[in-house]
Chain A
Amino acid sequence: MNDAFGHPQSVIVLGGTSEIAREVVTLLAADRCRTVVLAGRDPVSLEVTATELRQSVARVEVVLFDAAATGDVDPTITRCFEIAGEAVDLVMVAVGELGAQETDEADPDRIAQMVTVNFTWPAAALSAVGAHLTRQGHGRMVVLSSVAGHRVRRSNYLYGSAKAGLDSFARGLGESLRGTGVTVHVVRPGFVRTKMTAGRSPAPFAVGPERVASDIVRGLEHGQEVIWTPGILKWVFSTLGCLPRALWRRLPG
Chain B
Amino acid sequence: MTGTVEASHRQLSGWGRTAPTRARVDRPVDAASIAGAFRTQTGGVIARGLGRSYGDAAQCSGGLTIEASGFSDIGKLDDSSGTIDVGGGVSLHDLMRHIIPSGWFVAVTPGTRYVSIGGAIAADVHGKNHHRDGSFANHVVELTLVTPTGTFTVSQDADPELFWATAGGMGLTGVVISATLRLIPIETSWIRVDSQRFARLDDLMSTMEDSDHRYRYSVAWLDCLGHRDGNHRSVLTRGDHAPSGAIPDRLRSRSREVPGDPRVRVPRSAPGRLVNRLSVRALNEAWFRSSSRSVGSLHPLSGFFHPLDGVGDWNLLYGPAGFVQYQFAVPATRGDVVAEAVGAIASSGIPSFLAVLKRFGPGTPGPLSFSQEGWTLALDFPLGPPGLPALLDDLDELVAHAGGRVYLAKDARLRPELLPVMYPRLPDFAAVRRRVDPVGVLASDLSRRLGIPG
Contacts and interface: CB of A to CB of B under 8 A. Distances in A.
B264 interface: no
**How many A residues touch the partner, as a band?**
20 to 34
Contacts of B169: none
Nearest to B62: A137
B112 to A, nearest CB: 20
Interface string A204-228: 0000000000000010011100000
A5 B62 contact: no
Interface in A199-253: 218, 221-223
Given A137-B21, A181-B11, A222-B384, A3 B412 contact: yes
A181 B20 contact: yes
A87 interface: yes
Contacts of A85: none
A4 B16 contact: yes
Most buried by B among A4, A218, A222: A4
A7 B19 CA distance: 10
Interface string A4-37: 1111010000000000000000000001100000
Nearest to B59: A137
B62 A2 contact: no
Interface residues of B, number: 30
A9 B384 CA distance: 20
Contacts of A181: 11, 20-22, 61
A138 interface: yes
Most buried by A among B20, B22, B23, B55: B22
Nearest to B325: A4
Nearest to B448: A1
A179 B12 CA distance: 10
Given A86-B448, A138-B19, A138-B61, 4 more contacts: A3-B18, A135-B62, A138-B21, A221-B389
28 contacts: A1-B445, A1-B448, A3-B412, A4-B19, A4-B322, A4-B324, A5-B383, A5-B388, A5-B389, A7-B389, A31-B389, A32-B415, A32-B416, A87-B448, A134-B22, A137-B21, A137-B23, A137-B60, A138-B19, A138-B21, A138-B22, A138-B61, A138-B445, A180-B11, A181-B11, A221-B383, A221-B389, A222-B321
Interface of A: 1-7, 9, 31-32, 86-87, 134-138, 179-181, 218, 221-223
Interface of B: 11, 16, 18-23, 43, 55-56, 60-63, 321-322, 324, 383-384, 386, 388-389, 412-413, 415-416, 445, 448-449
